[in-house]
Structure 1
Amino acid sequence: MKKYIIILTLPFLFAGCRTSEDVNSDPHASYETQPEPLLTYAQKELSDYLTTPSVNENNSRLMMQYWQETIYVNESNYDFTNRNVSNNVWRDNYVNVLMNLNQASKIITAYVPTFAEAAAWPAKRDNQLAILDIMKVYTYQVLVDAYGDIPYTQSLDNDKYPLPKYDNAATIYADLITRLNTDVNKLSSTGGTFGNGDIFYKGDIGKWKKFGNSLLLKLGIALADVNPTLAQATVNQAIAGGVFSSSADNCKFQYLAASPNQSPMYLETASRDDFVGGKTLVDYMNATNDPRIAEYYTDVDGVYIGQVIGAPADFASFSNAGSFAYTSTTPGIVLSYTEVSFYLAEAAARWGIGGAPAALYDSAVTSSFTDWNLTADAAGYLAAHPYDASNWKKSIGEQAWVAMYNQAVISWNFYRRLDYPQLVAPATAIPNAGGKVPVRLQYPPLESTTNGTNYAAASAAIGGDKLTTKIFWDVN
């Protein structure tokens, strides 16, 4: 049986929250280790964040109205402060992911190879550093897409910058694209990698190149409405470099049956009855006769019933999540062929890049059906719900919303960029939501108290630290 070595070598501290040596120096942590377990840990933590439905950490399934809470409905009504959600998101991505990736990079950079290793070391070193940086790029994009302006250039050097400044989000995006191009170009099939320490791809450089180009596509599409020149150039470059071409390319973290490496979704669902299906998606799938509903949800006496968003629910009276959510080994999805397929359809619809929009739309929807072992049902569904060139944002936006059911963080991006589906906030939502589904997370309260000057400057720069303040690329 496989066992993952899960080691956290860096202290639990927020970027910009260092106040003393005691805070920053964990007496129980090991500061001398190998890069492989650091990579494994960072990959697991990234996957855990994207996958978990924990209301303490990731409420994207609730915001996208896939699920609804049963008893405590604070988060369904966009109260994310009660459980310090933003503090947890910030810590998980900056500390558990980025800091560990950065520490692995430092170890590799400082390593002096033996005489026997010397000839092969430069290629292996470059591959390892490129893989680590590709993951950093992915994680920084997650943070920008959640908050807007964030600590970036000063974010990973607590000794030099204990209170880091926040960088402009658009500037960060441009730099991420540059970094990613450099990383992909450095990858060499003749060099070594991390081997089994790399849970995503087991060191397969060909897979990492496709991942890098697919991430480049994702970055480019995000800029479509705010910087179309850079967006198109980036998308063209990504496609030319080679993006995902089938589900065999999916980047995922395979969880195990045994604790502590079980799916975080399973850990939240197996022992508690905290979630039922959200009425918005359940009703949509009922109305469209979508066969995937039987995989997404359980039925109640032969029918699928979702609860009104924001309202408490009796667990037994409504459809629950499907069996995938109650399976300990369900993998966490970091980037999927289905997601990439929708980006390709969007690029074709916007700019005529990469092929015919209708055909790429069909491929994206079919890929989603394949994800749930329903490929044979895709053609009938598409015949009833064809691509609409007159309102391509609606066609792609609504179908991506359905398809990204198990990638809710990504679904939130589609929703904000394409403005479909047209989700309605519950009447019971907190006043701070302004009667709308949130379009960003507020900065962590801990940042306002420990890094107050930089926090205040960032808040002013983005137009206010609010749930209603749009990310820079969300201009429509």
Structure 2
Amino acid sequence: MLNRIIKYSCLLAFVGLVMAGCRKLDSINHDPTKSTTTEPPYLLTGAEKSTMDILYSSLQNGYIGMHYAQFWSGNTRVADSQYSLDENNNGALWTTLYAAAHNLDLIRTLNADGANPAAQNQNAIAGILKVWIMQILTDAYVNVPYTQALDVTKYVTPAYDDAKTIYNQLTDSLTANINALDASKPTFGDADVIYKGDVNKWKTLGHSLMLRLAIRMADADNAKAKSLIEANYQGAMTSNSDNAEFAYLGADPNRYPMDETNRPIIDFYVSTTLTDYMRETSDPRLTIYARPVEGLTTDTIYGMPYGMSTTDPNRPTTASYPGTKIYGADMKGILMTYSEVAFTLAEAAARGYTVGGDAATYYASGVRASMNYWGVADSTANAYLAQVPYMSGDWKNVIGTQKWLSLYPQGFQAWFERIRLNFKKPGGADLFIAPVSGSLDQHVTMVPYRLTYPIVESNSNSTNYAAAGSAIGGDNKGTKNWWITY
């Protein structure tokens, strides 16, 4: 793991330098574990960009996240829709996220001498981003290296931590970093692509990420989830103006990863799961999430049955590709939006938590925020809400479907929410289906609950890798995370 983290850390330092300017390019030639190699702003920019790049890459988001959320199905390559995991894509996700977390940790090391007046806020912002990244890792893989993971000079083969213990440490870390933020002190400035160093915005994001952590554990530890949400909801996002996004510039080297400016992306079709439900409810986002099939003049958006083999005689000859905005060079990398917060608070209210409002109001706010994000008029959003009203007796399915739709194209977060809530359509009919042509994995038929550990870990960290697989009950996609209780 050490060699791979150092390799990717060098890459992140380089990315940060490119985006921030051409100053001190010689720093990328030095050992990234040394405090003289670079500066905190470069490390922050590089970590933000590399994480967004991997989370919205067609290789990771396209073939893993968007497939497991069942937003997309494969075109010529369908094995991913049938749960065959490409090890190159899996390994790159793991190593890139760890490298980004390592560089965020390095910011604190660089600031340890007390000479930087912006150190307090820089450390806190880096700490919030590290929590975001580590939650993705533990949600995707369950037990992962955490306590020993980032000190690569001391722990060449880090031990894996228990996923629930990691969650407890993440909530503690997030609380400490939120409290450390001080708007009266210097910060990052433009090196922070997400919020331009706005300390108040970072504080808002910190509270919002706490809601994400808390609601994910609601079924497994209701008391703690309730306590965390009630303590943080007032500081969380209240509108789309608070959204946390990485703004790509739309030109090399800073284009959105799934960008078809230079070539059409034909790897994926939208799934019938997505298109049929959106058509069923007259969802105005359908024409944004998917594009018309070429050559048709009426009723032109059609999905591909999920996981259908290219040799299946019933397979359609063509289907709709994802919408052009999703593949735009200047599409933003989404870290979190207000619609997610609103739906989280709707669920919290439905569970009986005290969150300053009722479930129906938060639910409507979540739908409107998602519509607003995609440019849908308020009048159209209101008409849509009449088609999909909040129903308290069916809150899990009502909130679950709309939160899922609002998370498009955040494949990984939508997948995590799908397996957490196990929701159906409002009323109880099945929304998701198993791959039409069958799973290629003996451990899972409907949806993977996790990613298997990358093969590189079995080679470079074999003892801890084997212990981790045993501790969770088997290193396979059918093993459930601690916060899944059904």
Whether TM-score is above 0.5 comes out as yes
Residue 322 (structure 1) shift: 1.0
Residue identity in the other structure for 1:243: A
1:17 is aligned to none
Q: Pick one of 419, 426, 434 that aligns with 1:425.
A: 434
Q: Name whichever of 329-338 and 402-411 sits farther off.
A: 402-411
2:89 is aligned to 85
Question: 1: CA distance between counterparts of 2:53 and 2:372?
Answer: 24
Preserved CA contact (<8 Å) 2:42 2:191 = yes
Unaligned 5+ segments in structure 2 are 11-26, 425-430
SS in 1 for 2:269: strand
Question: 1: CA distance between counterparts of 2:61 and 2:127?
Answer: 28
Deviations 1:329-348 (A, max 9, x none): 11110011111111111111
2:185 is aligned to 191
1:174 is aligned to 168
Preserved CA contact (<8 Å) 2:107 2:122 = no
1:409 is aligned to 412
SS in 2 for 1:334: strand
SS in 2 for 1:305: coil
1:328 is aligned to 329
SS in 2 for 1:400: helix
Residue 151 (structure 1) shift: 0.4
Runs of 4 or more above 6 Å deviation: 313-316
Rate the CA distance shift 1:269–1:51 in 2: closer, same or farther, 3 A.
Answer: farther
SS in 2 for 1:358: helix
5 Å-filtered alignment, 1:32-47, equals 32-47=37-52
Q: TM-score, normalised by structure 1?
A: 0.89
Rate the CA distance shift 1:9–1:171 in 2: closer, same or farther, 3 A.
Answer: closer
Residue 325 (structure 1) shift: 2.3
Rate the CA distance shift 1:452–1:9 in 2: closer, same or farther, 3 A.
Answer: closer
Q: Pick one of 458, 470, 474 that aligns with 1:460.
A: 470
1:437 is aligned to 447
Q: Name whichever of 350-359 and 27-36 sits farther off.
A: 27-36
Residue 366 (structure 1) shift: 1.1
Rate the CA distance shift 1:332–1:270 in 2: closer, same or farther, 3 A.
Answer: farther
Rate the CA distance shift 1:27–1:255 in 2: closer, same or farther, 3 A.
Answer: closer
Residue 267 (structure 1) shift: 5.2
Rate the CA distance shift 1:38–1:280 in 2: closer, same or farther, 3 A.
Answer: same
Rate the CA distance shift 1:94–1:52 in 2: closer, same or farther, 3 A.
Answer: same
5 Å-filtered alignment, 1:354-365, equals 354=355, 355-365=357-367
Preserved CA contact (<8 Å) 2:54 2:60 = no
Question: 1: CA distance between counterparts of 2:451 and 2:434?
Answer: 16
Residue 362 (structure 1) shift: 0.8
SS in 2 for 1:252: strand
Question: 1: CA distance between counterparts of 2:249 and 2:443?
Answer: 38
2:482 is aligned to 472
Aligned length in residues: 446
1:118 is aligned to none
Question: 2: CA distance between counterparts of 1:372 and 1:269?
Answer: 24
Q: Name whichever of 227-236 and 55-64 sits farther off.
A: 55-64
Residue 111 (structure 1) shift: 5.4
Residue 11 (structure 1) shift: 2.2
Deviations 1:184-227 (A, max 9, x none): 11111100001000001001011001000001111111110111
Preserved CA contact (<8 Å) 1:59 1:75 = yes
Deviations 1:284-323 (A, max 9, x none): 1111111110111112323211011112579983111111
Residue 469 (structure 1) shift: 0.5
Residue 50 (structure 1) shift: 2.4
Q: Pick one of 292, 304, 307 that aligns with 1:307.
A: 304
Rate the CA distance shift 1:269–1:86 in 2: closer, same or farther, 3 A.
Answer: farther
Preserved CA contact (<8 Å) 1:57 1:86 = no
SS in 1 for 2:467: helix
Residue 9 (structure 1) shift: 10
Rate the CA distance shift 1:57–1:308 in 2: closer, same or farther, 3 A.
Answer: closer
Aligned-pair identity in percent equals 37
1:264 is aligned to 257
Question: 2: CA distance between counterparts of 1:206 and 1:160?
Answer: 35
Give the root-mean-square deviation of aligned CA atoms.
2.3
Question: 2: CA distance between counterparts of 1:53 and 1:405?
Answer: 14
5 Å-filtered alignment, 1:336-355, equals 336-354=337-355, 355=357
Structure 2 residue 381 is the aligned partner of structure 1 residue 378: yes
Question: 1: CA distance between counterparts of 2:270 and 2:238?
Answer: 32
Preserved CA contact (<8 Å) 1:36 1:198 = yes
